[in-house]
Structure 1
Amino acid sequence: MQPYQIRSETIADVAAIAEVNQLAFGRQNEAYLVEQIRQSDRFIPSLSLVAEVDGKVVGHILFSYVDLVGEQQLQVLALAPMAVHPTVQRQGIGTQLVETGLAIADTMQESLIIVLGHPAFYTRFGFKPSIHYDIEPPFSVPEEAFMSKPLKHHQTTYRGIVAYPPAFNGV
């Protein structure tokens, strides 16, 4: 595999990001999700990252704000979606996208990240089933697939039910 670069998305990447998400997931839902989040107040430009090989976008990851509703309502991060072009999957691009995103979120002093995904993949980065942190999904999902990762600025009072913004309704 050729060397790749991880960087924040630019306006010129929008179509390529949509294509990577569509090809990786085999449907439009995730590409639509990215577009809806991008147009919302939950979008964080520095946490929409692309992997690029020879000027071509081959991967994308997006972290955006969701709410954690408990005794208080807190803004935390959701990792969704993460996509790698099918022709370059299983070559470390997804791993590097996650690691870079986690590092940026930490430097931004974010506290917690939520993900609904494959446990075998995300547990490698320190994600654990959210139930361990008294964090619940807003819908029925296998316990092991709904995970959280506290960052350096996490406080143990962060517990409750995750409330996704309307952008997530179509996924």
Structure 2
Amino acid sequence: MNIRPENTLDYPTIAEVNTLAFGGEKEAKLVHIIRASNGYIPELSLVAEIENTVIGYIMFSYIDLVCEEQLPVLSLAPMAVHPEFQKQGIGKALLKTGLQLADKRGEALIVVLGYPKLYTPFGFQPSINYQIESPFSVPEDVFMVKILSGYEEKYKGKVVYPPAFDGV
């Protein structure tokens, strides 16, 4: 398996992987919208491929954390693996690589809405532990953050997602 940044030739297959993994097109549309936004980070939009075929995808993009100032933080969404390749560690490999790359860039933190069993082994904790408020009414344990090397105490407040996320 090879993990690398996406390129434009991957876009149709990435859309297909997201559609199949999530059983609908919302996440594929989200990826398309984020790519056209200021929040897009090409080097943090990664594919997993086997024999030159894309079978997994993860995207980290900028969102805002608002308190006394507006600070850019990373959102992890979406992460998808083609159904035929799920439960083989591909998502975990994408996540591990993405976390390492984000940390090397000096990013402060990553926000994710997801399953604690998947994310807590990678160091994600409930966002409330860092005085970071979810914009959604969800259980505290599913809205999580991962602190990275660029973190400072000023990173507190409420997460604000751009309009691209409204349809997901």
Aligned length, in residue pairs: 168
- Give 1:164 shift: 0.2
Out of 125, 144, 157, the residue aligned to residue 147 of structure 1 is 144
Out of 3, 27, 32, the residue aligned to residue 35 of structure 1 is 32
The C-alpha deviation readout for 1:75-112, integer Å capped at 9, x for no partner, is 00000000001111111110010010001101111011
- The separation in 1 between residues aligned to 2:167 and 2:86, in whole angstroms, is 25
- The separation in 2 between residues aligned to 1:132 and 1:71, in whole angstroms, is 19
Out of 13, 17, 20, the residue aligned to residue 20 of structure 1 is 17
- Give 1:61 shift: 0.1
Q: Which amino acid aligns with 2:85?
A: V
- Give 1:139 shift: 1.8
Correspondence 1:2-81 to 2 at 5 A:
4-81=1-78
- The separation in 2 between residues aligned to 1:78 and 1:88, in whole angstroms, is 24
- Give 1:157 shift: 1.6
- Give 1:162 shift: 0.3
1:147 is paired with a residue of what secondary structure? Answer: strand
- The separation in 1 between residues aligned to 2:108 and 2:86, in whole angstroms, is 29
1:106 pairs with 2:103: yes
**TM-score (normalizing by structure 2):** 0.99
Q: Which amino acid aligns with 1:136?
A: E
Correspondence 1:126-137 to 2 at 5 A:
126-137=123-134
- The separation in 2 between residues aligned to 1:73 and 1:119, in whole angstroms, is 27
- The separation in 2 between residues aligned to 1:27 and 1:136, in whole angstroms, is 28
Structure 1 segments (4+ residues) deviating >2 Å: none
2:45 is paired with a residue of what secondary structure? Answer: strand
Any unmatched runs of 5+ in structure 2?
A: none
- The separation in 2 between residues aligned to 1:144 and 1:120, in whole angstroms, is 10
Percent of aligned pairs with the same amino acid = 59
Q: Which amino acid aligns with 2:22?
A: F
- The separation in 1 between residues aligned to 2:115 and 2:15, in whole angstroms, is 21
- The separation in 1 between residues aligned to 2:12 and 2:23, in whole angstroms, is 16
- Give 1:138 shift: 1.0
1:163 pairs with 2:160: yes
- What's the RMSD between the two structures over aligned residues? 0.6
